[in-house]
Amino acid sequence: MDLNWHEIWARVQELAALYGLKILGALLVLIIGRFVVGILIGITRRVMNRSNTDATLSKFLLGLMRGLLMAMVIIAAVGTLGIETTSFVAVLGALGLAIGFALQGSLGNFAAGVMLIIFRPFKAGDYVEAGGTAGSVEEISIFSSRFKTPDNKEVIVPNGAIFSGTIINYSAKDTRRVDMVFGIGYGDDIKKAKQILERLLAEDTRILKDPAPQVAVLELADSSVNFAVRPWVNTADYWGVYLDMQEKVKLTFDAEGISIPFPQQDVHMHQVPAA
Protein backbone atom coordinates (compact mmCIF):
# COMPACT_ATOMS: atom_id res chain seq x y z
CA MET A 1 0.00 0.00 0.00
CA ASP A 2 2.84 2.40 0.88
CA LEU A 3 4.47 1.60 -2.41
CA ASN A 4 1.30 2.48 -4.33
CA TRP A 5 1.01 5.86 -2.63
CA HIS A 6 4.63 6.56 -3.42
CA GLU A 7 3.98 5.69 -7.07
CA ILE A 8 0.90 7.93 -7.21
CA TRP A 9 2.76 10.83 -5.63
CA ALA A 10 5.63 10.38 -8.02
CA ARG A 11 3.21 10.38 -10.93
CA VAL A 12 1.57 13.57 -9.67
CA GLN A 13 4.96 15.25 -9.36
CA GLU A 14 5.82 14.13 -12.85
CA LEU A 15 2.59 15.52 -14.30
CA ALA A 16 2.99 18.75 -12.33
CA ALA A 17 6.50 19.19 -13.67
CA LEU A 18 5.29 18.45 -17.19
CA TYR A 19 2.04 20.46 -17.32
CA GLY A 20 2.18 22.80 -14.33
CA LEU A 21 3.91 25.64 -16.11
CA LYS A 22 1.66 25.23 -19.14
CA ILE A 23 -1.50 25.36 -17.00
CA LEU A 24 -0.14 28.37 -15.14
CA GLY A 25 0.65 30.03 -18.46
CA ALA A 26 -2.85 29.31 -19.79
CA LEU A 27 -4.42 30.82 -16.66
CA LEU A 28 -2.25 33.91 -17.01
CA VAL A 29 -3.27 34.24 -20.66
CA LEU A 30 -6.95 34.02 -19.68
CA ILE A 31 -6.63 36.56 -16.86
CA ILE A 32 -4.52 39.04 -18.79
CA GLY A 33 -6.56 38.54 -21.98
CA ARG A 34 -9.83 39.20 -20.16
CA PHE A 35 -8.34 42.35 -18.64
CA VAL A 36 -7.14 43.59 -22.04
CA VAL A 37 -10.54 42.81 -23.62
CA GLY A 38 -12.24 44.87 -20.91
CA ILE A 39 -9.94 47.82 -21.65
CA LEU A 40 -10.58 47.60 -25.41
CA ILE A 41 -14.35 47.36 -24.88
CA GLY A 42 -14.26 50.40 -22.58
CA ILE A 43 -12.29 52.46 -25.10
CA THR A 44 -14.63 51.44 -27.93
CA ARG A 45 -17.70 52.27 -25.82
CA ARG A 46 -16.37 55.77 -25.08
CA VAL A 47 -15.60 56.37 -28.75
CA MET A 48 -19.13 55.29 -29.72
CA ASN A 49 -20.68 57.51 -27.05
CA ARG A 50 -18.70 60.52 -28.26
CA SER A 51 -19.76 59.87 -31.86
CA ASN A 52 -23.43 59.54 -30.77
CA THR A 53 -23.70 55.99 -32.09
CA ASP A 54 -27.20 54.56 -31.78
CA ALA A 55 -27.61 52.72 -28.47
CA THR A 56 -29.02 49.57 -30.12
CA LEU A 57 -26.18 49.35 -32.62
CA SER A 58 -23.59 50.18 -29.96
CA LYS A 59 -24.81 47.43 -27.63
CA PHE A 60 -24.86 44.83 -30.41
CA LEU A 61 -21.41 45.72 -31.79
CA LEU A 62 -19.83 45.76 -28.33
CA GLY A 63 -21.29 42.35 -27.55
CA LEU A 64 -20.05 40.98 -30.87
CA MET A 65 -16.60 42.50 -30.31
CA ARG A 66 -16.40 41.05 -26.79
CA GLY A 67 -17.35 37.59 -28.05
CA LEU A 68 -14.75 37.61 -30.83
CA LEU A 69 -11.96 38.89 -28.60
CA MET A 70 -12.70 36.36 -25.85
CA ALA A 71 -12.72 33.57 -28.44
CA MET A 72 -9.23 34.67 -29.50
CA VAL A 73 -8.09 34.71 -25.85
CA ILE A 74 -9.43 31.19 -25.26
CA ILE A 75 -7.71 29.91 -28.40
CA ALA A 76 -4.45 31.48 -27.25
CA ALA A 77 -4.84 29.87 -23.80
CA VAL A 78 -5.49 26.47 -25.37
CA GLY A 79 -2.38 26.92 -27.52
CA THR A 80 -0.36 27.67 -24.38
CA LEU A 81 -1.29 24.23 -23.07
CA GLY A 82 0.42 22.72 -26.10
CA ILE A 83 -2.80 21.68 -27.81
CA GLU A 84 -2.80 22.10 -31.58
CA THR A 85 -5.24 24.92 -32.39
CA THR A 86 -5.07 24.86 -36.19
CA SER A 87 -7.73 22.18 -36.54
CA PHE A 88 -9.75 23.84 -33.78
CA VAL A 89 -9.77 27.15 -35.69
CA ALA A 90 -10.64 25.32 -38.92
CA VAL A 91 -13.62 23.66 -37.24
CA LEU A 92 -14.79 27.01 -35.88
CA GLY A 93 -14.42 28.55 -39.34
CA ALA A 94 -16.42 25.78 -40.98
CA LEU A 95 -19.07 26.07 -38.27
CA GLY A 96 -19.27 29.82 -38.77
CA LEU A 97 -19.61 29.35 -42.53
CA ALA A 98 -22.42 26.83 -42.07
CA ILE A 99 -24.22 29.13 -39.65
CA GLY A 100 -23.76 32.01 -42.09
CA PHE A 101 -25.44 30.06 -44.90
CA ALA A 102 -28.25 28.96 -42.58
CA LEU A 103 -28.85 32.51 -41.38
CA GLN A 104 -28.30 34.21 -44.71
CA GLY A 105 -31.63 36.07 -44.55
CA SER A 106 -31.05 37.13 -40.96
CA LEU A 107 -27.55 38.39 -41.77
CA GLY A 108 -29.02 40.40 -44.64
CA ASN A 109 -31.55 41.94 -42.26
CA PHE A 110 -28.74 42.67 -39.80
CA ALA A 111 -26.65 44.43 -42.45
CA ALA A 112 -29.70 46.43 -43.54
CA GLY A 113 -30.42 47.35 -39.92
CA VAL A 114 -26.87 48.64 -39.47
CA MET A 115 -27.23 50.76 -42.62
CA LEU A 116 -30.59 52.14 -41.46
CA ILE A 117 -29.13 53.11 -38.10
CA ILE A 118 -26.03 54.70 -39.67
CA PHE A 119 -27.69 56.63 -42.52
CA ARG A 120 -30.93 57.45 -40.65
CA PRO A 121 -33.46 57.70 -43.53
CA PHE A 122 -36.09 57.88 -40.79
CA LYS A 123 -36.30 57.91 -37.01
CA ALA A 124 -38.79 56.87 -34.36
CA GLY A 125 -41.94 58.97 -34.66
CA ASP A 126 -41.69 59.62 -38.41
CA TYR A 127 -44.53 58.61 -40.71
CA VAL A 128 -43.00 56.63 -43.56
CA GLU A 129 -43.90 54.30 -46.38
CA ALA A 130 -41.39 51.46 -46.68
CA GLY A 131 -41.21 47.69 -47.02
CA GLY A 132 -44.76 47.45 -48.35
CA THR A 133 -46.37 49.21 -45.39
CA ALA A 134 -47.07 52.75 -44.20
CA GLY A 135 -47.21 53.97 -40.63
CA SER A 136 -45.46 55.74 -37.78
CA VAL A 137 -42.06 54.30 -36.83
CA GLU A 138 -42.07 53.02 -33.26
CA GLU A 139 -38.73 51.19 -33.09
CA ILE A 140 -35.71 50.45 -35.27
CA SER A 141 -33.88 47.33 -34.12
CA ILE A 142 -31.01 45.38 -35.63
CA PHE A 143 -33.08 42.85 -37.58
CA SER A 144 -36.49 44.49 -38.02
CA SER A 145 -38.42 47.72 -37.55
CA ARG A 146 -41.81 48.19 -35.89
CA PHE A 147 -44.52 50.42 -37.37
CA LYS A 148 -47.93 51.55 -36.12
CA THR A 149 -50.54 52.03 -38.84
CA PRO A 150 -53.14 54.83 -38.72
CA ASP A 151 -55.78 52.28 -37.61
CA ASN A 152 -53.51 51.28 -34.68
CA LYS A 153 -52.14 48.00 -36.02
CA GLU A 154 -48.57 46.95 -35.22
CA VAL A 155 -46.54 45.87 -38.24
CA ILE A 156 -43.05 44.36 -37.94
CA VAL A 157 -41.06 44.64 -41.18
CA PRO A 158 -37.65 42.97 -41.82
CA ASN A 159 -34.96 45.57 -42.34
CA GLY A 160 -33.85 43.88 -45.55
CA ALA A 161 -37.25 44.57 -47.14
CA ILE A 162 -37.06 48.21 -46.03
CA PHE A 163 -33.52 48.99 -47.15
CA SER A 164 -33.81 47.20 -50.51
CA GLY A 165 -36.87 49.21 -51.56
CA THR A 166 -38.04 52.79 -51.82
CA ILE A 167 -38.41 54.71 -48.56
CA ILE A 168 -40.83 57.66 -48.47
CA ASN A 169 -40.51 59.76 -45.33
CA TYR A 170 -43.50 62.08 -44.98
CA SER A 171 -42.14 63.63 -41.79
CA ALA A 172 -38.63 64.47 -43.01
CA LYS A 173 -39.47 68.05 -44.00
CA ASP A 174 -41.12 70.76 -41.92
CA THR A 175 -43.58 71.73 -44.67
CA ARG A 176 -45.59 69.86 -47.30
CA ARG A 177 -47.67 70.79 -50.32
CA VAL A 178 -51.30 69.66 -50.30
CA ASP A 179 -52.25 68.58 -53.83
CA MET A 180 -56.01 68.73 -54.50
CA VAL A 181 -58.14 68.71 -57.65
CA PHE A 182 -61.66 70.20 -57.85
CA GLY A 183 -63.86 70.05 -60.92
CA ILE A 184 -66.64 72.38 -62.09
CA GLY A 185 -69.10 72.11 -64.96
CA TYR A 186 -68.35 73.51 -68.41
CA GLY A 187 -71.28 75.89 -68.04
CA ASP A 188 -69.98 77.40 -64.76
CA ASP A 189 -68.01 80.64 -64.39
CA ILE A 190 -64.33 79.72 -64.26
CA LYS A 191 -63.21 83.08 -62.82
CA LYS A 192 -65.83 82.93 -60.08
CA ALA A 193 -64.83 79.38 -59.14
CA LYS A 194 -61.16 80.39 -59.01
CA GLN A 195 -61.95 83.37 -56.77
CA ILE A 196 -63.90 81.11 -54.40
CA LEU A 197 -61.02 78.66 -54.13
CA GLU A 198 -58.50 81.46 -53.51
CA ARG A 199 -60.76 82.96 -50.84
CA LEU A 200 -61.13 79.65 -49.02
CA LEU A 201 -57.35 79.23 -48.98
CA ALA A 202 -56.82 82.77 -47.69
CA GLU A 203 -59.32 82.23 -44.85
CA ASP A 204 -57.49 79.17 -43.51
CA THR A 205 -54.77 80.35 -41.09
CA ARG A 206 -52.97 77.01 -41.32
CA ILE A 207 -52.04 77.63 -44.96
CA LEU A 208 -48.64 79.29 -45.38
CA LYS A 209 -48.24 82.57 -47.23
CA ASP A 210 -44.75 81.65 -48.43
CA PRO A 211 -44.64 79.74 -50.70
CA ALA A 212 -47.92 81.16 -51.98
CA PRO A 213 -50.75 78.72 -52.69
CA GLN A 214 -51.47 77.95 -56.34
CA VAL A 215 -54.90 77.77 -57.98
CA ALA A 216 -54.95 77.12 -61.72
CA VAL A 217 -56.91 75.27 -64.39
CA LEU A 218 -55.32 71.85 -64.59
CA GLU A 219 -57.19 70.27 -67.50
CA LEU A 220 -60.32 70.31 -69.61
CA ALA A 221 -61.53 66.83 -68.73
CA ASP A 222 -64.30 64.78 -70.37
CA SER A 223 -67.08 66.11 -68.15
CA SER A 224 -65.51 68.87 -66.02
CA VAL A 225 -63.04 71.73 -65.89
CA ASN A 226 -60.50 70.68 -63.23
CA PHE A 227 -58.65 73.10 -60.96
CA ALA A 228 -55.33 72.25 -59.34
CA VAL A 229 -55.32 73.63 -55.78
CA ARG A 230 -51.88 73.45 -54.14
CA PRO A 231 -51.36 75.20 -50.80
CA TRP A 232 -48.31 74.73 -48.54
CA VAL A 233 -48.77 73.82 -44.88
CA ASN A 234 -46.76 72.64 -41.90
CA THR A 235 -46.37 68.88 -42.06
CA ALA A 236 -48.46 68.35 -38.92
CA ASP A 237 -51.40 70.24 -40.55
CA TYR A 238 -51.43 68.26 -43.81
CA TRP A 239 -54.42 65.98 -43.25
CA GLY A 240 -56.41 68.57 -41.34
CA VAL A 241 -56.20 71.05 -44.22
CA TYR A 242 -56.81 68.39 -46.86
CA LEU A 243 -59.98 67.04 -45.24
CA ASP A 244 -61.37 70.46 -44.28
CA MET A 245 -60.91 71.83 -47.80
CA GLN A 246 -62.94 68.97 -49.31
CA GLU A 247 -65.92 69.90 -47.16
CA LYS A 248 -65.53 73.68 -47.49
CA VAL A 249 -65.28 73.58 -51.29
CA LYS A 250 -68.38 71.40 -51.65
CA LEU A 251 -70.49 73.54 -49.32
CA THR A 252 -69.31 76.84 -50.82
CA PHE A 253 -69.78 75.68 -54.43
CA ASP A 254 -73.31 74.57 -53.57
CA ALA A 255 -74.06 77.94 -51.94
CA GLU A 256 -72.59 79.92 -54.88
CA GLY A 257 -74.28 77.89 -57.59
CA ILE A 258 -71.10 76.22 -58.84
CA SER A 259 -71.72 72.64 -59.93
CA ILE A 260 -69.46 69.67 -59.35
CA PRO A 261 -70.50 67.43 -62.24
CA PHE A 262 -70.71 63.67 -62.19
CA PRO A 263 -68.74 61.78 -64.83
CA GLN A 264 -71.07 61.54 -67.83
CA GLN A 265 -71.15 60.72 -71.52
CA ASP A 266 -73.47 61.92 -74.28
CA VAL A 267 -74.77 59.03 -76.41
CA HIS A 268 -76.29 59.86 -79.82
CA MET A 269 -78.43 57.14 -81.42
CA HIS A 270 -78.80 57.02 -85.17
CA GLN A 271 -81.94 55.28 -86.32
CA VAL A 272 -81.79 53.51 -89.64
CA PRO A 273 -85.18 53.36 -91.44
CA ALA A 274 -86.46 49.91 -92.29
CA ALA A 275 -85.95 48.73 -95.84
Q: What is the domain extent for residue 46? A: 2-102
Kindly report which listed range (21-25, 145-149, 185-189) carries the lowest average pLDDT score.
21-25
**8 Å CB contact between 144 and 157:** yes
- Asked whether residue 143 falls in the same domain as residue 159, the answer is yes
Give domain status of residue 274, yes or no: no
Q: What is the pLDDT of residue 1?
A: 45
- Asked whether residue 164 falls in the same domain as residue 179, the answer is no
Give domain status of residue 55, yes or no: yes
pLDDT at 184 over 70: yes
**265 φ/ψ angles, rounded to the nearest 5 degrees:** -135, 140
> For the domain that residue 161 is a member of, what is the CATH number?
2.30.30.60
pLDDT tens, 86-145? Answer: 666 666 666 665 555 544 556 778 888 888 877 888 888 899 999 889 999 998 888 889
Q: Please enumerate in sequence order all residues whose Cβ is within 8 A of that of 105, keeping only pairs 6 or more positions apart, or say none.
A: 158, 160
pLDDT tens, 34-84? Answer: 888 888 888 888 887 787 766 666 776 777 788 788 888 887 777 776 666
pLDDT-above-90 percentage for the chain: 40
Number of domains in the chain: 3
User: How deeply is 229 buried, as exposed, middle or buried, from its count of CB atoms within 10 A (0-12, 13-18, 19+)?
Assistant: buried
Side-chain-facing half-sphere of 271: CA atoms under 13 Å: 2
Mean pLDDT over each residue of the chain, to the nearest integer: 82
pLDDT at 8 over 80: no
Q: What is the pLDDT of residue 266?
A: 66
Q: What is the pLDDT of residue 176?
A: 95
> For the domain that residue 60 is a member of, what is the CATH number?
1.10.287.1260
pLDDT tens, 214-239? Answer: 999 999 988 899 999 999 999 999 99
Q: Largest alpha-carbon pair distance within the chain?
A: 139
Mode of pairing for the β-strands spanning 133-140 and 144-148: antiparallel
- Asked whether residue 207 falls in the same domain as residue 193, the answer is yes
pLDDT-above-70 percentage for the chain: 79
pLDDT at 183 over 70: yes
- Asked whether residue 132 falls in the same domain as residue 204, the answer is no
Q: What is the pLDDT of residue 52?
A: 73
Q: What is the pLDDT of residue 103?
A: 47
The answer, as to whether pTM is greater than 0.85, is: no
> For the domain that residue 239 is a member of, what is the CATH number?
3.30.70.100
Give domain status of residue 242, yes or no: yes
Give domain status of residue 93, yes or no: yes
